[in-house]
Structure 1
Amino acid sequence: MSLQKITRLPSARLLTSIHLLQHQQLLLPSIPPRSAPRRAVTQGEYRRPGQPKEDKLPWQNVNFDLWKGLGGIKKHFTLLKKEFFERWVGPEGKPILEHMLEQNRLVWEFRGPESLEEWVVSSDKEIGGHSEAYLKLGKNNNTCFLYGTLSSTPPRDGETRYSGYCSMRSKQPLASFDRKKHHDWTSFNTLHLRVRGDGRPWMINLATETYFSHQKDDVYCYFLYTRGGPYWQDVKIPFSKFFLTHRGRLQDDQHHAWLDKVNTVGFTLGDKADGPFQLEIDYIGVCKDFAHTEEFAYEMYKKNPEV
């Protein structure tokens, strides 16, 4: 009944009609107001399709072991004592004259099982791929032997389109109380390797400390071409040859690698050639090549060009 008809009725019928309208409104189901869905303030970690969800509380992953805690305290105070006395000797515990005249430095040398604990091996198997990578000591426990199988078949998750990589990366060095510790290679200009491969091209990655959070995936890369065969090859790669990438994409704005805070060094294989692979490494070091005078090998854009 419309309002115009209600106003034309007598007073008694008008009250009856109003009462009927109120009774009909009470019988109607209540419709809640529409509201837009709200996102949670804290988002959980990304979980790939097909992986089960972990229904564990945050403190259930913590190991409350008294003896392990006491051992960790002893370890960190030992490192703190070492750092304190090294500062009185010189940079990195060396006399200042030796540090200034140093031309070669051996960073990683694989001479026992404890040397492999400084490295981490990963592959696309972590995201559902089929590649496999393993790390072990070579003959006579004097080399590092990285081997496995590369497969470019993507996982069937409806999201990943490309796959097929295996990598080996050094761990982030830590000081006392799990503070970050960096490699300072400003006195050197060349990366020196002694390797023996199977003819595949490898990508060498240098990850440095960044000043902004959106640069955490910036990596300096260069190619390592192995000859294959039974003979070792000494490879010297100048740091000026490394180019800047972000999540595997080459950047237009290139600049020299920051060698004062190097975090990790890695080797990545992704040449899309399915099959077995192997790479044997004797040592990894840095050196000062006085014959190399190049500052940077790639074109640099001038933001404010000279007139």
Structure 2
Amino acid sequence: MSLQKITRLSSLRLLSSIPHQQLLLPSIGPLTASSRAVIQGEYRRPGQPKEDKFPWQKIKLDFRKGLEGMKKHFTLLKTEFTDRWVGPEGKPLIEHMLEQNRVLWEFRGPESLEQWTVSSDREIGGQSEVYLKLGKNNRTCFLYGTLNSTPPRDGETRYSGYCTMRSKQPLASFDRKIHYDWSSFNTLHLRVRGDGRPWMINIAAETFFSHQKDDIYNYFLFTRGGPYWQDIKIPFSKFFLTHRGRIQDDQHPLWLDKINTIGFTLGDKADGPFQLEIDFIGVL
């Protein structure tokens, strides 16, 4: 047997001893995955069938609602034009320049709750409950409910147990998205009264790329419980960037001139009732 045949046989025996999975890997080194997936679809509850409807099939036509919507949008458009002649955001220029603090949300009536929305793990099949109402004398916002971390029995979801309160995206006339401008301030100011549970404050800013739509800036809100109110002041420099609940290695500062929403999330895995009362939310 020639030397060439012996070398070929030994090479075949060596390759047959290597697992098939290792043969598929390149020889340039270990595989690396990016921190975020560029292509991300909308969340779909496990076990829920996919909707096979065209976008125009989901549109519901109502002539009366159309007239009410046109009246609302033209009123907003008129307000936009008149505010520009007064100053930024409808305030005189000297007041805007000397402003040291600003109250953004103040709960003083039923209409103030229309700017907020609540959600819980019931959207993914969980058992938590969350409700929002006005406090005593209609002077505060009262968020309460029951946290339950039992995961749904769908065979896919492993973790559950969260409740969230979030402000709605501000819209201008004809549903144009607008942003809060907090660039003149550096601190978030809250007056709250909780039950001792730790909460997470979530601030969402405008992004330019679709794969960043789930980027949120977070920081902790520690309530001490008891009958006394807390004045909490958190610098915006303390907030850290997360993507779908995961802290990112590449941190960026918060864009204070393009704020979309702010929210509060409870997910401390302590099953039972909870409550959080908010007097106002502002910046200074």
Q: Aligned partners of 2:251 and 2:223: how far apart in 1?
A: 26
Shift, 1:53, TM fit: 6.1
Q: TM-score, normalised by structure 1?
A: 0.76
Q: Deviations over 1:200-246 (max 9, x none)?
A: 00000100001111111111100000000111111111111111111
Structure-to-structure mapping, 1:27-66, within 5 angstroms: 47-51=44-48, 58-66=55-63
Q: Report what 2:93 is aligned to.
A: 96
Q: Report what 2:151 is aligned to.
A: 154
Would you say the 8 A contact 2:194–2:276 is kept in 1?
Answer: yes
Q: Partner letter of residue 220 of structure 1?
A: Y
* Change in 2 beyond 3 A, CA 1:282/1:127: same
Q: Deviations over 1:90-109 (max 9, x none)?
A: 11111211111101101000
Q: Aligned partners of 2:75 and 2:122: how far apart in 1?
A: 38
Q: Report what 1:219 is aligned to.
A: 216
Q: SS state of the match for residue 67, structure 2?
A: helix
Q: SS state of the match for residue 285, structure 1?
A: strand
Structure 1 portions without partners, runs of 5+: 1-43, 288-307
Higher relative contact order (CA 8 A, sep 6+): 2
* Change in 2 beyond 3 A, CA 1:242/1:161: same
Q: Partner letter of residue 253 of structure 1?
A: D
> When the two structures are aligned, how many residues end up with a matched partner?
245
Q: Report what 1:14 is aligned to.
A: none
Q: Report what 1:144 is aligned to.
A: 141
Shift, 1:80, TM fit: 0.7
Q: Aligned partners of 1:228 and 1:45: how far apart in 2?
A: 38
Q: Aligned partners of 1:230 and 1:64: how far apart in 2?
A: 50
* Change in 2 beyond 3 A, CA 1:132/1:106: same
Most deviating of 57-66 and 178-187: 57-66
Q: Aligned partners of 2:44 and 2:181: how far apart in 1?
A: 36
Q: Aligned partners of 1:127 and 1:272: how far apart in 2?
A: 16
Q: Aligned partners of 1:226 and 1:178: how far apart in 2?
A: 36
Q: Which of 173, 176, 179 is matched with 1:176 structurally?
A: 173
Q: SS state of the match for residue 73, structure 1?
A: helix
Shift, 1:135, TM fit: 0.5
Q: Deviations over 1:115-142 (max 9, x none)?
A: 1111010000110011111111111111
Q: Partner letter of residue 228 of structure 1?
A: G
Q: Percent identity?
A: 83
Q: Which of 275, 279, 283 is matched with 1:282 structurally?
A: 279
Q: Partner letter of residue 66 of structure 2?
A: G
Q: Aligned partners of 1:53 and 1:96: how far apart in 2?
A: 52
Shift, 1:63, TM fit: 2.8
Q: Is 1:273 the counterpart of 2:275 in the alignment?
A: no
Q: Aligned partners of 2:44 and 2:182: how far apart in 1?
A: 38
Q: Report what 1:247 is aligned to.
A: 244
Q: Partner letter of residue 49 of structure 1?
A: P
Q: Aligned partners of 2:197 and 2:42: how far apart in 1?
A: 35
Q: Aligned partners of 1:55 and 1:91: how far apart in 2?
A: 45
Q: Aligned partners of 1:85 and 1:46: how far apart in 2?
A: 41
Q: Aligned partners of 1:46 and 1:222: how far apart in 2?
A: 24
Q: SS state of the match for residue 276, structure 1?
A: strand
Q: Aligned partners of 1:243 and 1:46: how far apart in 2?
A: 24
Would you say the 8 A contact 2:46–2:124 is kept in 1?
Answer: no
Q: Report what 2:13 is aligned to.
A: none
Q: SS state of the match for residue 180, structure 1?
A: coil
Q: Is 1:115 the counterpart of 2:112 in the alignment?
A: yes
Q: Partner letter of residue 252 of structure 2?
A: H
Q: Aligned partners of 1:45 and 1:210: how far apart in 2?
A: 17
Q: Deviations over 1:225-271 (max 9, x none)?
A: 00001111111111111111111111111121110000000000011
Shift, 1:50, TM fit: 3.7
* Change in 2 beyond 3 A, CA 1:49/1:248: closer
Q: CA RMSD in A?
A: 1.7
Q: SS state of the match for residue 194, structure 1?
A: strand
Q: TM-score, normalised by structure 2?
A: 0.82
Shift, 1:85, TM fit: 1.4
